[in-house]
Amino acid sequence: MPEGDTVWNTARVLHRALAGARITSSDFRVPQLATTDLTGWTVRESASRGKHLLLRLSAPDETPWTLHSHLRMDGAWRAYAPGERWNGRPAYLIRVVLRSPGAVAVGYHLHEMALVPTAEEDRLVGHLGPDLLGPDWDAAEAVRRLGDHPEQTIGEALLDQRNLAGVGNLYKCEVLFLRGVSPWTPVDAVPDLPGMVTLAQRLLAANRGRWTQSSTGSLHRGQTSYVYGRRAQPCRRCGTAIRKEELGERVTYWCPVCQPERPGPPAPG
C-alpha cells in the first residue's frame, strides 16, 4: 500500500521524467477528464503532499494548473521511455497517459483525479495536517492536532491525514510497537506524543528514496518489520506471537506483551 514515502518517491520519478518537458499528447480514461487535452502544456514539477500526488503544469498561456491524483491502496504511476513496453499493470487499469518527447507517464488505478488551477490546490489538500516529508513539517502542530481528539484511539489518530499527512498502516503499526503503545490506547493516555510524532517522521525520512520500506534497519526479505505483516510470528523482542485484529476500517498488528493496553484517564466527576 502506498504510504507517504512511496508517494514521495513516485513524485520524484515523475519529476525526473517530465519536469521541463512539453506534453505532446494526453489520454484521460476517467469520466471527469475524458475530454481534457493537455497537448502543448509544460510540466513544471511533480510533488507530493502526504499521500496525494500533484503534477504542476503550465498551460500554453502560462497559467499554472495542477493535475491531482491519489494512489489510495492500489494506485501507481510509471514512467517509460518512448517505445518501451508498458508492464506496470493490466491495460484496463490505466487512467491517464501523458507523452513527452523523452518519456511516457502512465497512471494506473488512480483515484480522485482532478485538474485545478494551482492557486486552488488547497481545495484538494488544504485539509491535510503537516506533511512528514514536506517543507511544511511541523511536529508541534501535528501533536496539537492529535491532541484535539483525546478520546480517539492512537491507532486511528495516526492514520487520520488531517492530523499528520503520510502515515499509513505499516508505519502506524511499527511506530506504536517501537514506542511500546497499544493501538487501542486513547490519545490522551499516550505517554509521549511528541516522541511518537518525531519517530514517525524519522522512519518515513529514512525510507525516502528507496522502494523497500524498513523499520528494523534490515532490507532483507522478511526482516523489514517488527510487527506489520507478521501475524502469529514471534515478536522480535519477547518472542510472543504477533496479533492481528481490525481497528476501525483497517487491520492492525501488535505485540500484546511489548504493547500492553493502558487504561484511559478516569472519567470526570
- Where do we find the cell 502543448? 40
Q: Residue 115 and residue 65: Cα distance in Å, rounded?
A: 7
**From 3, 121, 156, 174, active-site residue:** 3
Query: Could you confirm whether 250 is annotated as catalytic?
Result: yes
Active site residue 2: yes
3 is catalytic: yes
Find all residues with CB under 8 Å of 202, minimum gap 6, and list them: none
- Is 144 an annotated catalytic residue? no
∠184-189-190 over CA atoms, to 5°?
80
Q: Which position among 89, 244, 250, 262 bears the catalytic label?
A: 250
By annotation, the residues acting in catalysis are: 2-3, 51, 250
